[in-house]
Each structure stands twice: as structure tokens, then as C-alpha cells.
């Protein structure tokens, strides 16, 4: 791990109450990522540093330090996720990460999943918002404004599985067939879907706290509990139980909303409700304004967050963060796109917006707001990267670095 500047920085810490203490010169780790990662990292750091400098006039600055993961780490030290990188995240608490390549169907395990498991980053948070002028398949994409809280450590993404015809899979199948009354082919591959009350409730708790702190009107529990009754159905039940036990004076259910309040929620309450997974996919298209914060198990959240990204411009416009009770890793939500590596072509907005989420996490909201406003102006001027330009007649296509330059120019304007 190397210091990217000659500046001296300080560590982010927690105070005695568990609140984040952020110095004016925090050390923050970055992982470039594979494929297009270096391109979008170079664009992103320019925008983040520019926004911080403009917002605080030099009083605050980020001191970036590189941590290795992915192909760059393997070439340097022979490991895709060095122990030194995990130790560094534990020491400095906050990191910004580009996309990392994960083989499909074999090879090493996903680095992203490993980071979430090892660091207990149990909440994958994916905001979805629309910037005017962005091409969208919807007639009214501006109605899409949601934040997905996806459970990050359980469900099928826990990684407990065995390949078909392996001795381990056959052992599990034999047990299920002989001891549990199941009827599974001995040749089947096996995956386990663990879900617990503790894991589900801490995710729902974080979603409710976010909704209360940001003035969001509702939290929806997305699940497939009509079929998977003891996992996803339990997620729904545990979510309602948590809301009633810890937030009874701040939340109301949909049933209470109509029985006690004639469908009009009191100003100091948020609504907690639930929807079946397949149903909510069509509802976020037809009635997106009815959904604000969505809490869901892992696999559902993976599907839904990508589908929602398509409504507001695609994964190139989709930020994300993996956050636990102590550590936070902010990341681009798209893949590494190796065919575009080193072409200075790809849209850097996903990583830029993930960095903006990081600024908000640090409570540097003035800098974050500058980026949101600058990004909106850049898109409205129809100066965009190829992924958006091909869908916007009359747009001027910019390179990855050129888009960052345009965004930086727009930071100097007044509010949009």
C-alpha cells in the first residue's frame, strides 16, 4: 500500500458514542479495480478532490492511499485479496473501490463477496435517482427515487455450495433424502440459503434509521415469502417485529394507515409495508412514486437494484456502498468491462457517485451536493460518455476523462 501524495493525513475514528470522527485531512483507501477501473478511478479522484477543494476552500482535503486487490494485487503479491488490504481497511475504516473481475462458474471466489463477509459489511446500499436529461425507457423517470438496502452476508450469496456429483453434494443430498424426506437427484449441485433473525433485523434497522434521518416516507420489505416461507417469509416477519419493538412510535403498518389514519400518514411516522418480489418488479415501473426505501434479502436486492438502474440511465449511473457497523467500502456497481480497458471511454459516473455517497457518509455534504448539481448540469448540456450519447440525439460524446473535465467545469456554476 502506497501513499498517493506527500500530504500527511489522519485516521478516521469513532468517538465514545460510536459516532464517526472525521478529521479535515482523512486518510481514505482506494482500490483502482480491474479492466476499466484505472480509467474511472483517475476521473473520479479529480472530481472528488475538485469538489472538496471548492466546497471548503482548502480547509479540508482527502489523503488517498492505495490498497491492492484484484489483478493488480495478484501481479504484485500473488493474491487477489492480500491480507494487508483487509488490515488496512480495518485500520482506516473507509475505502473507495473500482470494479473487480470475478470468474463465472469457476476460479477464485468473488473478491466483493469476500470483502463483505470478512468485514461484515452487511448492508449493500444502492441509491437510485434520476438526473434530468438522462435517457430512460420510462415516460416519467423523475418519479424514480429509491434507496435499496440489500442484506449482504446471508441468503445464497453466503457462498455455501457444492458442485454437482461431488462427494460433498452427494453427502448433503443423501442426508436430505434419507433423513428429511426430500426427493433430490443424487446428481444435483447443492446450495444453502441461510437467513437469520439477527442478520435480517440489523439490515431492516439500518433501513428504517436511514428513512427517519432523511425524511423518507416508507420502508418496503421485499421478499418471496409466499414460496420460501421459512427464509424470505421469515425476513418479512422479522422485519415487522423489529419495527414494532424498536420504532413503535415512529412507524405504522399499511393496515394501521388505513384503519387508524384513513390512508394519511402522520407527519412524524413512516409507513412500513411489504411486497412479494415478482410483484414489486412491475410496481416500481408502473408506480415508482409509491416506493422510497426498500429492504430485501441478498439475491432479490441484486436483481432489483440493477433493474432500477436501467430506469435512470443504466449501471453507469448507479452508485453503491457496502456498510457495516464499523467499516464502509464504496464501489462502482458495474463490472470491470475489460474490453474497454485503457480506452478512456467508459462512463465514470458510477464510481463518482459512489464517491459522493462516501462524502455524504463523512458528512461532507457541501462537496457532495456540488457533485450532484454539476453532474445534472453536465447531462443537461448533453455532454456525456458513449453509453448515454448513443441514446441521446444531438449529444456530444466525451471520453471518460473528458466527462470528468466537463463535470469539474460545472462545479463552478451556481445551483441548478
List residues with catalytic annotation.
Answer: 157, 224, 278, 302
Which residue, among 336, 352, 342, 355, has the nearest Cα to 399 in the 3D structure?
A: 342
Helix, strand and coil percent figures for the chain, each rounded to 5: 45, 20, 40
101 is in an annotated binding site: yes
412 is in an annotated binding site: no
339 is in an annotated binding site: yes
Among all chains, which residue has been given the C-alpha cell 467500502?
329
Q: Are 258 and 244 in contact (CB under 8 A)?
A: no
Give the whole-angstrom CA distance, residue 87 versus residue 91: 6
Give the whole-angstrom CA distance, residue 128 versus residue 289: 12
347 is in an annotated binding site: yes
340 is in an annotated binding site: yes
275 is in an annotated binding site: no
Q: Strands, DSSP E only, in 267-395?
A: 270-276, 293-296, 319-323, 328-332, 383-384
Q: Could you tell me the three cell numbers for 21?
A: 470522527
Q: Alpha helices, DSSP H only, in 180-253? A: 197-214, 232-246
266 is in an annotated binding site: no
> What would the DSSP string read from start to end of 84-106?
HHHHHHHHH-EEEE------SSS
Give the whole-angstrom CA distance, residue 336 versus residue 123: 22
Q: Are 144 and 287 in contact (CB under 8 A)?
A: no
As a whole number of Å, the CA-based R_g of the chain is 22
Q: Are 319 and 350 in contact (CB under 8 A)?
A: yes
Give the single-character DSSP code of 330.
Answer: E
336 is in an annotated binding site: yes
What's phi and psi for 270, nearest 5 deg? -115, 155
386 is in an annotated binding site: yes
User: In b/e form, how buried is each residue of 234-254, taking b as 16+ CB within 10 angstroms?
Assistant: bbbbbbbebbeeebeebbbbe
Measured at the alpha carbon of residue 49, what is the angle toward residues 324 and 86, in degrees to the nearest 5?
35
401 is in an annotated binding site: no
Give the whole-angstrom CA distance, residue 9 versus residue 159: 37
Binding residues for Mg(2+): 302
For the annotated binding site for NADP(+), the residues are 101, 334-340, 347, 386, 390
Tell me the binding residues for D-threo-isocitrate: 110, 112, 116, 126, 150
Binding positions are 101, 110, 112, 116, 126, 150, 302, 334-340, 347, 386, 390
Amino acid at each position: 500500500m502506497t501513499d498517493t501524495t506527500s500530504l500527511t493525513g489522519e485516521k478516521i475514528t469513532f468517538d465514545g458514542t460510536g459516532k464517526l470522527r472525521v478529521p479535515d485531512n482523512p486518510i481514505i483507501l482506494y482500490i483502482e479495480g480491474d479492466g476499466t477501473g484505472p480509467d474511472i478511478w483517475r476521473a473520479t479522484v479529480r472530481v472528488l478532490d475538485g469538489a472538496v477543494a471548492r466546497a471548503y476552500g482548502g480547509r479540508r482535503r482527502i489523503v488517498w492511499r492505495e490498497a491492492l486487490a484484484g489483478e493488480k494485487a495478484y501481479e504484485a503479491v500473488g493474491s487477489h485479496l492480500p491480507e494487508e488490504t483487509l488490515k488496512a481497511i480495518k485500520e482506516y475504516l473507509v475505502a473507495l473501490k473500482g470494479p473487480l473481475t470475478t470468474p463465472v462458474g469457476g476460479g477464485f471466489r468473488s473478491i466483493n463477496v469476500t470483502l463483505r463477509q470478512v468485514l461484515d459489511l452487511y448492508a449493500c446500499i444502492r441509491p437510485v435517482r434520476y438526473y434530468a436529461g438522462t435517457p430512460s425507457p420510462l415516460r416519467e423517470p423523475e418519479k424514480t427515487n429509491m434507496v435499496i438496502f440489500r442484506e449482504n452476508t446471508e441468503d445464497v450469496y453466503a457462498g455455501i455450495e457444492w458442485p454437482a456429483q461431488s462427494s460433498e453434494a452427494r453427502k448433503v443430498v443423501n442426508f436430505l433424502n434419507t433423513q428429511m424426506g426430500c426427493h433430490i437427484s443424487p446428481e444435483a449441485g447443492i446450495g444453502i440459503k441461510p437467513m437469520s433473525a439477527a442478520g435480517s433485523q440489523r439490515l431492516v434497522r439500518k433501513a428504517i434509521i436511514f428513512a427517519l434521518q432523511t425524511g423518507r416516507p416508507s420502508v418496503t420489505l421485499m421478499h418471496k415469502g409466499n414460496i420460501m416461507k421459512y427464509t424470505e417469509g421469515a425476513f418479512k416477519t422479522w422485519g415487522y417485529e423489529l419495527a414494532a419493538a424498536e420504532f413503535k412510535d415512529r412507524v405504522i403498518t399499511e393496515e394501521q394507515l388505513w384503519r387508524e389514519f384513513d390512508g394519511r400518514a402522520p407527519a412524524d411516522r413512516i409507513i412500513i409495508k411489504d411486497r412479494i418480489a415478482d410483484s414489486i418488479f412491475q410496481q416500481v415501473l408502473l408506480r415508482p412514486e409509491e416506493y422510497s426505501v426498500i429492504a430485501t434479502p441478498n439475491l432479490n436486492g441484486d436483481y432489483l437494484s440493477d433493474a432500477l438502474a436501467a430506469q435512470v440511465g443504466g449501471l453507469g449511473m448507479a452508485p453503491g456502498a457496502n456498510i457495516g457497523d464499523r467499516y464502509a467500502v464504496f464501489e462502482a456497481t458495474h463490472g470491470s468491462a475489460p474490453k474497454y480497458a485503457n480506452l478512456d471511454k467508459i462512463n465514470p459516473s458510477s464510481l463518482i457517485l459512489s464517491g459522493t455517497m462516501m462524502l455524504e457518509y463523512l458528512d461532507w455534504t457541501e462537496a457532495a451536493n456540488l457533485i450532484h448539481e454539476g453532474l445534472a448540469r453536465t447531462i443537461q448540456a448533453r455532454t456525456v460518455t458513449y453509453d448515454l450519447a448513443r441514446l441521446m440525439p444531438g449529444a456530444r460524446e466525451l471520453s471518460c476523462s473528458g466527462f470528468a473535465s466537463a463535470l469539474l467545469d460545472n462545479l463552478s456554476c451556481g445551483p441548478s
